[in-house]
Amino acid sequence: MSTATALSAATRVIPSFEYRRERWRNGLGWTREILRVPDSEEWQVRLSIAEIEQDAAFSSFPGIDRELVLLRGEGLRLRFADGALHTLLPPHDRLRFAGEAEIHGELVDGLTHDFNLMWRRDQVDAELLHRPLVGSMFFFTEPGTAWAIHLLAGQAEFEGEPELPPLQQGDTAWLAAGPRRRYALRGGGELLAIRLDPRGQ
């Protein structure tokens, strides 16, 4: 499946109660999967929330780039095999890194929840933005451009889009690539907005 075709997966809102909870690939933690595009083992983009309950090694994902955002908790230290150390601190520190990197996660003080964006670096370009939502915010889809929007706090709704239910805290919207279209998201709160394009476009 081409990247452009994958990014055209149907526009929808995914309520947080529908996220699929499953074990990490290495069995050392839990994740709640929000979305994978396409919805198969050969995904090109995957969104999830990691539940980290103990110090543990991260699973390896060769060929994948990742960006991790602290959602809840007092912080998470990422200790890399090459000696680098980065600490994600509240409220929403984040870090982008290679999925094949050897990393050990160490909790600063108890459980953390961490938003996890993953994409195949040879097929997809991804840009993650952290923004306040005050009034209306506009998102434009294109034949090769899709957006994923995760509501960190507050509530919001898409104006003039009756087929898309309102977003509550923790919900995610997928705005599919396709004919150029404008989406107006109105509300109050805070969000993560992820722009996704085929690599090289």
Domains identified in the chain and CATH numbers:
19-120 (2.60.120.10), 124-198 (2.60.120.10)
pLDDT, tens digit, 9 for 90 and up, residues 21-62: 998 877 777 899 999 999 998 999 999 999 998 998 898 999
pLDDT, tens digit, 9 for 90 and up, residues 150-187: 999 999 999 999 999 999 999 999 999 999 999 999 99
Is 201 within 8 Å of 161 (Cβ atoms)? no
pLDDT band of 190, cuts 50, 70, 90: very high
The label of the residue with tokens 């947080």 reads: 16
Task: Work out the average pLDDT over 116-143.
Answer: 97
pLDDT at 201: 64
